[in-house]
Chains A and B, each alone.
Chain A
């Protein structure tokens, strides 16, 4: 185990649903990340939080809304998603947002949008 947990592990939702993904890290890290992994494509960084503050938003559509209430927890709120949003969503953490720190990943949430 990497010390990063994600729930749920699988999620199926309709395009009009609202759901949330949860990530928790038990490593005492200060930076947390959301990535999207689609088939045949490289991992796409979505959001970065450092000490609870959002420091990066890589042009992610507003139907994805992150929330970081503290350094240990990270949420991704989903609403009115599209079928092309179906993917594996990975959460990661690192000691801080220094350049190129090792990142620790959770197991991911497999999202299917119908």
Chain B
């Protein structure tokens, strides 16, 4: 399986601090995506990074991808209480076709 595995499983920080979440996967990918899920609700797409990209930014989000290590990281800078959610990485590959393979997620708690 090329399932993504996020690390850590849970992260608690104070407002204003940076939060870093990591994702590892097992096989070659076409792209890797990060999604956010507020408690008991649907997932929201945050950012997509292609296999030939190494870093991507979107607002306070910074994603890196290291295909040699089969890993990605999501950095949220200057966190806010509203960033409290679960964050999932999802991998896409030609082998998997349409399917995105999701990890179990990192639960982020940001306290004010």
Contact = CB atoms under 8 A, between A and B. Distances in A.
A97 interface: yes
Contact of B42 (A31, A56, A106): A106
Contacts of A76: none
Interface stretch (B14-22, B54-62, B63-71, B97-105): B97-105
A107 B92 contact: no
A88 interface: yes
Interface in B25-39: 30-31, 33, 35
A108 B40 contact: yes
Given A4-B42, A90-B42, A55 B98 contact: yes
Report the contact-size class of chain B (Cβ under 8 Å from the partner): 20 to 34
Interface string A86-111: 00101010100111111111111010
A68 interface: no
Contact of A105 (B43, B48, B104): B43
Interface stretch (A14-22, A40-48, A59-67): A40-48
- Most chain A CB within 10 A, of B31, B42, B48, B96, is at B42
A40 B43 CA distance: 16
Contacts of B40: 88, 108, 110
B3 interface: yes
B98 A48 contact: yes
Contacts of A101: 98
A89 B13 CA distance: 30
A2 interface: yes
26 contacts: A2-B42, A33-B98, A40-B104, A42-B88, A43-B102, A48-B98, A48-B99, A55-B98, A56-B98, A90-B42, A92-B42, A97-B97, A97-B98, A98-B98, A99-B30, A99-B93, A99-B96, A100-B30, A100-B93, A102-B48, A103-B45, A105-B35, A105-B43, A106-B42, A107-B42, A108-B41
Interface of B: 3, 30-31, 33, 35, 40-45, 48, 88, 92-94, 96-105
